[in-house]
């Protein structure tokens, strides 16, 4: 219909309806902008759409180029039917042309041309639609079409929310799974042996049990290849888990503290598509959300390097899924209480260890294959020297390749090294064979690489990037990157992702030994100082991009030898924070533990905006508590007061209102005691926000006005002034009926906040709309609400969106636009049902009934 300009009133009505529902309309108007054959484009467009809406007139339409017995309209419908798309069909009343012409509506009449040679074909198509059993509507005017589409699509949105059902009252709702995580690490090269274990475990994983999740425990000594085996099994069965594979290192035997179940669940929930704004911090709520996201999904979970059964148990998935756990320990409690199946790995059989060495080197088949074994064969001797441990075998093979030594020469070198270590450590060392390989490998590195190997053991986190390593090593990033890659080539360092590096836990233990034995204490101290300084500057640089108007830490010039930090923009800074989140926590804790108090409090406060944007409120609280303690230890009362403000903010977000009030009061007293006027204004604004949350409007106004006046006295405008205006002053004015004052306060807050805080921006726009509406200006109110909706959707604030839709509906009703009001309310109802807000949902249902539309009681 779009090809005939006179018919645009019908097309425009359909487009307006779809756009009012915040969907994107797609139709065949894009023929001219695409090089594909029209029929292919038609099928592609229908395939990509969520919903097919057919508007069927009396004209059959243009025939398909290669199928002239069918029109593009019929092709669209048939494609949607074949794909199982949801379909809404609207038939234009055959008498509409006559009626429209009688009413003088020539445009609508022209939309229904007469004398169409395909009229008979169109009649057959219309009859086929009528006989299809589809629910469809007959419409006579574009206005009726628009109303019908709005109501039908909004009802579908509501039905979707009702089918999904609310989440448990104790946890945020589980959104529809939108992601299929593929987190399996790559397989190790030349995997050998373990055939019996592989077949047994694969068979167990292949038989899903709808009553319980399968739990497999892979245990064994360090270096025996537990992770490689679990990953090998997982790759072999991943097709049986089409909804994804999750992987995490629980750090059970790492120098870092073991990963808490809350941290692991947080990562899993986000990987499964959980909205960052809805991820809780409580362990029970996280577990419930995790299992909700796994409902009706088959997902394989790999829990690597577990310490205890208690660490694992909260991470167990729901029935239909499976989990593989690796651990040096037996995890007997998991076997006895939870029915886990244990697979215990031992060092490789000699013949398989030799086969692995031959596969990793150019040794060929050798006498040990296809004939009687030769105990003096260098491959056999080298395998024995490596204790038949896969980790040691792989390192030895790589060293042989890089050093140019023959296997016989390598055997002689290791024999001498083993004797030297026996004299130092005793022959009963359970890791003596693998330590022999480590020691020999270390001694064969150049001194610069040995230094790199040692100093990397200082890094408190798991992975680290090349820039952080450059700071730690005190060398340019390019040189540091080459050194890291050299250690990867020697197989003593892993590269899990581009630009990210980590030790195997056993190698790290050895690197720590060498650090203590070979690196002077003052150089260790300087290296850690450099890395801490770099993290402080990097976190601060990122925060200045994420929130340019926020108060930032004052920094000295970077320590010599640390690389400069620069981010290209918001996304780059946020991506860095995401990658370094756990290193930030680890470095803050290490700085505090080693007496680097100034660096600890600065690093604790620098990434606050990141914590807030990503809703890592527990991280925010932990970092802020360290900042309080270390600022106090450093004798910096002003920094301590600032840190207390952050403790209060984190507690407010976590719902700990009493503690938040106490922290804010302590912060205010500290700021006044030290003469920190900026800190005082900031804390006054925060107290105003908390007072408003507690319903103390007069107190909120008092705190808010004190904060505002202090900011203005200090000169310059800050985002914190916007908070005082939005959260304390304007609401108090509204409560008193001082609408002009409230409008001015909200507008000032918006001007200060625009472009720096999306969530606040959306809330302020809604408050502006409410104020305009109260003042009798529905047009201004509607504009503000529409702008607020756009911001809510960008920031992901679903509840804010629902509340704004409710407000917008009242404006449409006041303007005698029932279709607009129904559309807004139906969208709000769908969100509130999805978010499990029954009281608000009932209020919306009542409003819909007042408008003559019964949404039902479900």
Structure tokens at 192: 């050998």
CATH number of the domain that residue 334 is part of: 3.40.50.300
For the segment 808-820, the average pLDDT, to the nearest whole number, is 89
The two structure tokens encoding residue 365:
């088949």
Mean pLDDT over 500-504 rounds to 89
Tokens of 98: 């006559």
Q: Are residues 111 and 40 in the same domain?
A: yes
Domain endpoint, select from 443, 471, 506: 443
Tokens of 150: 């709005």
The pair phi, psi for residue 757, each rounded to 5°, is -150, 95
Which has the higher per-residue pLDDT, 684 or 139? Answer: 684
Tell whether 566 is covered by a domain. yes
Whether residues 563 and 651 share a domain: the answer is: yes
Of the pLDDT bands very low, low, confident and very high (cuts 50, 70, 90), residue 21 is: low
State the burial class of residue 196 (Cβ atoms within 10 Å of its Cβ: 0-12, 13-18, 19+): exposed
Which of 843, 798, 610 lies closest to 176, judged by CA? 798
Q: pLDDT digit string (tens) for 351-398? A: 888 888 888 876 554 444 444 556 678 888 888 888 788 888 888 887
Q: Provide the CATH number for the domain around residue 550.
A: 1.25.40.10
Has residue 430 got a pLDDT over 60?
Answer: no
Q: Which residue do the tokens 């108060």 mark?
A: 551
Question: What is the per-residue pLDDT for 718?
Answer: 61
> Is 311 found in the same domain as 222?
yes
Are 329 and 235 within one domain? yes
pLDDT in tens, 792-807: 777 556 778 888 999 9
Q: Is the pLDDT of residue 175 over 50?
A: no
Among 344, 363, 394, the domain boundary falls at 344
pLDDT of residue 413: 77
Q: Which of 164, 185, 216 is a domain's end point?
A: 164
Does the pLDDT at position 470 exceed 70?
yes
Give the model's confidence band at 222: pLDDT under 50 very low, under 70 low, under 90 confident, else very high. confident
| Residue 237 pLDDT exceeds 50 | yes
The string of DSSP letters for 301-329 reads: EEEES---HHHHGGG---TT-EEEEEESS
604 with 637, same domain: the answer is yes
Statement to judge: residues 540 and 643 lie in one domain: yes
What is the per-residue pLDDT for 660?
Answer: 96
How buried is 839 (Cβ within 10 angstroms: 0-12 exposed, 13-18 middle, 19+ buried)?
exposed
C-beta separation of 488 from 234 below 8 A: no
CATH number at residue 79: 3.40.50
For residue 12, what are the contacts with CB-CB under 8 A and spacing of at least 6?
Answer: 142
Q: Which one-letter DSSP state was computed for residue 6?
A: G
Contacts 24+ apart (CB under 8 A), 158-166: 158/826, 158/829, 158/830, 158/833, 158/855, 160/830, 161/829, 161/830, 161/831, 161/833, 161/834, 162/833, 162/858, 164/834, 166/833, 166/834, 166/835, 166/836, 166/838
pLDDT digits (tens, 9 = 90+) for 442-457: 887 899 999 999 999 9
| Interval 112-150: pLDDT, tens | 444 455 566 666 777 777 666 565 667 767 767 776 777
Angle at 410 between CA 503 and CA 508, to 5 degrees: 15
Q: Which pLDDT score, from 0 to 100, does residue 177 have?
A: 40
Let me know whether 418 and 501 are in one domain: no
Q: Is residue 736 part of a domain?
A: no
Asked if residue 271 belongs to a domain, the reply is yes
Q: What is the pLDDT of residues 40-60, one digit of tens each?
A: 667 667 776 777 787 776 555
Inform me whether the pLDDT recorded for 493 exceeds 80. Answer: yes
User: For position 657, what pLDDT does the model report?
Assistant: 93
- The pLDDT value given to residue 4: 33
| Total domain count, the chain | 5
The predicted pLDDT at position 368 comes to 42
Least confident of 236-245, 415-424, 560-569, 590-599: 415-424
pLDDT of residue 14: 73
Asked if pLDDT for residue 34 goes beyond 50, the answer is no
**Average pLDDT score over the chain:** 81
Yes or no: say if 265 and 246 are a contact pair by the CB < 8 Å rule.
no
577 belongs to a structural domain: yes
Q: What is the DSSP letter of 282?
A: S
pLDDT at 33: 41
Tell me, yes or no, whether 769 lies in a domain.
Answer: no
Range list of H helices, 207-260: 226-237
* Widest Cα–Cα separation across the chain: 109
For residue 390, the model assigns a pLDDT of 86
* pLDDT digits 0-9 by tens, 773-797: 988 999 999 999 999 998 877 755 6
Between residues 179 and 387, the one the model is more confident about: 387
Query: In Å, what is the CA distance from 850 to each residue of 155, 581, 802?
Result: 17, 50, 19
Same domain, 536 and 658: yes
pLDDT at 85 over 90: no
Residue 36 confidence class, pLDDT cut points 50, 70, 90 = low
Claim to verify: residue 421 and residue 535 sit in the same structural domain: no
The pLDDT, as a whole number, for residue 822 is 87
In a domain, 735, yes or no: no
| Residue 771 included in any domain | no
Give the model confidence (pLDDT) of 298-353 as tens digits.
999 999 999 999 999 999 999 989 999 999 888 988 998 999 999 998 888 888 88
Same domain, yes or no: 281 and 262: yes
Does a structural domain hold residue 685?
no
Q: Which residue has the higher pLDDT, 715 or 574?
A: 574
- Are residues 436 and 304 part of one domain? no
pLDDT the model gives residue 84: 67
Mean pLDDT of 747-766: 83
Looking at the structure, do residues 571 and 613 belong to the same domain, yes or no? yes
pLDDT at 372: 52
Host domain of residue 597: 521-675
Q: What percent of the chain has pLDDT over 70?
A: 78
What is the Cα–Cα distance from 644 to 650, expressed in whole angstroms? 10
């Amino acid at each position: 219909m779009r090809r005939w300009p006179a018919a645009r009133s019908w097309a425009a009505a359909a487009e307006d309806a779809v756009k009012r529902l915040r969907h994107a309309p797609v139709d065949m108007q894009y023929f001219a902008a695409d090089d594909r054959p029209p029929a292919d484009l038609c099928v592609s467009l229908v395939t990509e759409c969520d919903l097919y809406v057919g508007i069927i007139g009396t004209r059959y339409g243009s025939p398909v180029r290669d199928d002239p017995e069918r029109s593009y309209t019929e092709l669209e419908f048939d494609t949607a039917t074949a794909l199982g798309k949801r379909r809404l069909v609207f038939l234009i009343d055959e008498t509409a042309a006559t009626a429209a012409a009688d009413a003088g509506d020539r445009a609508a009449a022209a939309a229904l041309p007469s004398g169409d040679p395909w009229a008979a074909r169109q009649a057959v198509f219309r009859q086929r639609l009528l006989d299809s059993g589809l629910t469809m509507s007959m419409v006579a005017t574009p206005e009726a079409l628009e109303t019908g589409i709005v109501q039908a699509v909004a009802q579908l949105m509501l039905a979707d929310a009702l089918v999904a059902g609310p989440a448990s009252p104790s946890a945020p709702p589980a959104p529809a799974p939108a992601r299929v995580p593929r987190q399996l690490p790559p397989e190790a090269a030349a995997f050998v042996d373990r055939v019996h274990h592989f077949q047994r475990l694969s068979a167990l994983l292949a038989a899903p049990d709808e009553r319980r999740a399968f739990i497999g425990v892979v245990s064994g000594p360090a270096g025996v290849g537990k992770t490689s085996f679990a990953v090998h099994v997982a790759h072999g069965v991943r097709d049986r888990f089409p909804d994804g594979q999750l992987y995490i290192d629980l750090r059970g035997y790492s120098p870092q503290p073991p990963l808490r179940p809350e941290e692991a669940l947080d990562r899993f929930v986000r990987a499964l598509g959980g909205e960052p704004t809805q991820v809780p911090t409580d362990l029970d709520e996280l577990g419930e959300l995790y299992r909700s996201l796994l409902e009706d999904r088959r997902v394989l979970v790999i829990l690597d390097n577990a310490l205890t059964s208690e660490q694992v148990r909260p991470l167990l998935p729901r029935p239909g899924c499976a989990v593989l756990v690796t651990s040096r320990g037996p995890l007997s409690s998991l076997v006895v209480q939870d029915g886990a199946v244990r697979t215990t790995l031992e060092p490789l059989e000699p013949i398989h260890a030799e086969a692995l060495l031959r596969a990793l080197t150019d040794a060929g088949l050798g006498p040990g294959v296809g004939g009687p074994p030769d105990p003096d064969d260098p491959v056999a001797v080298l395998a024995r020297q490596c204790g038949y441990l896969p980790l040691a075998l792989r390192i030895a093979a790589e060293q042989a390749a890089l050093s140019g030594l023959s296997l016989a020469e390598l055997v002689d070198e290791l024999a001498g090294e083993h004797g030297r270590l026996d004299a130092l450590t005793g022959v009963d060392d359970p890791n003596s064979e693998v330590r022999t390989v480590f020691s020999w490998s270390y001694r064969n590195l150049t001194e610069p690489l040995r230094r790199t190997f040692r100093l990397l053991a200082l890094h408190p986190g798991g992975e680290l990037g090349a820039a952080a390593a450059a700071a730690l090593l005190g060398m340019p990033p390019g040189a540091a990157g080459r050194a890291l890659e050299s250690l990867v080539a020697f197989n003593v360092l892993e590269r899990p992702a581009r630009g990210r590096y980590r030790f195997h836990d056993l190698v790290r233990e050895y690197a720590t030994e060498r650090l203590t034995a070979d690196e002077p204490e003052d150089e260790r101290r300087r290296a850690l100082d450099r890395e801490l300084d770099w993290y402080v500057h990097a976190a601060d640089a990122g925060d200045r991009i994420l929130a340019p108007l926020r108060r930032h830490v004052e920094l000295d010039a970077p320590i010599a030898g640390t690389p400069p930090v620069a981010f290209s923009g918001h996304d780059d800074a946020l991506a860095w924070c995401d990658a370094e989140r756990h290193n930030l926590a680890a470095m803050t804790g290490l700085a505090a533990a080693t007496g680097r108090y100034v660096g600890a409090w600065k690093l604790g406060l620098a990434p606050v905006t990141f914590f807030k944007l990503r809703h890592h409120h527990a991280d925010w609280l932990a970092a802020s508590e360290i900042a309080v303690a270390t600022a106090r230890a450093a004798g910096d009362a002003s920094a301590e007061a600032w840190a207390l403000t952050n403790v209060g903010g984190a507690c407010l977000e976590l719902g700990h209102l009493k503690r938040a009030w106490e922290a804010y009061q302590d912060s205010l007293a500290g700021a006044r005691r030290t003469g920190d006027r900026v800190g005082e204004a900031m804390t006054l604004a925060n107290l105003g926000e908390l007072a408003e949350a507690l319903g103390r409007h007069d107190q909120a106004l008092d705190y808010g006005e004190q904060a505002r006046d202090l900011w203005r006295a200090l000169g310059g405008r800050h985002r914190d002034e916007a908070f005082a205006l939005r959260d304390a002053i304007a609401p108090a004015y509204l409560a008193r009926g001082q609408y002009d004052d409230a409008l001015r306060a909200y507008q000032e807050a918006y001007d200060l906040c625009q472009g720096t805080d999306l969530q606040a921006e959306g809330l302020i726009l809604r408050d502006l709309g409410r104020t305009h509406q109260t003042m009798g200006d529905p047009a201004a109110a509607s504009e503000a609400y529409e702008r607020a909706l756009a911001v809510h959707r960008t920031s992901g604030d679903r509840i804010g969106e629902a509340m704004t839709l409710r407000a917008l509906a009242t404006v449409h009703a006041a303007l005698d636009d029932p279709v607009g009001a129904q559309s807004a309310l139906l969208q709000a109802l769908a969100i509130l049902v999805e978010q499990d807000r029954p009281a608000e949902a009932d209020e919306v249902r009542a409003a819909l009934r007042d408008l003559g539309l019964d949404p039902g009681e479900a």
